[in-house]
């Protein structure tokens, strides 16, 4: 998190936190938002919503450039390769 409990509210820090969590590469959706029900004690709770990324994903690309001519790429990811089941 880019902020600590008790800090003054800063929307830039919420965006920074959202980017950091998304950059972990484990989530397909990350939302960090304040819960604005304006309690009497002026404390704003922060809600973090995530959707787990698919375990297996792949991308294939083909292109053409003036210097490199034809180019291709394959990007494959498998999340949880070292995952240990906990009973």
Return the pLDDT at 41.
74
Exposure of 28 in the CB half-sphere (CA atoms within 13 A): 9
Among 4-8, 14-18, 35-39, name the one with the lowest average pLDDT.
35-39
Q: Give the separation between CA 60 and CA 71, rounded to whole angstroms.
A: 11
pLDDT per position as a tens digit, 52-68? 888 888 889 999 988 87
**Which CA distances in Å does 19 have to 24, 69, 82?**
9, 35, 25
Where do the DSSP E strands lie in 1-87?
27-35, 45-52, 56-65, 69-78
Domain chopping of the chain, boundaries: 11-78
Would you say the pTM of this structure is higher than 0.85?
no
């Amino acid at each position: 998190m880019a902020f600590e409990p008790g800090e003054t509210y800063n929307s830039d820090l919420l965006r920074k936190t959202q980017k950091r969590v998304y950059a972990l590469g484990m989530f397909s959706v990350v939302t960090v938002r304040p819960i604005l029900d304006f309690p009497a004690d002026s404390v704003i709770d922060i809600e973090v919503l995530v959707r787990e990324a698919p375990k297996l994903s792949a991308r294939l690309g083909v292109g053409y450039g003036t210097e490199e001519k034809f180019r291709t790429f394959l990007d494959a990811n498998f999340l949880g390769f070292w995952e240990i089941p906990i009973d």
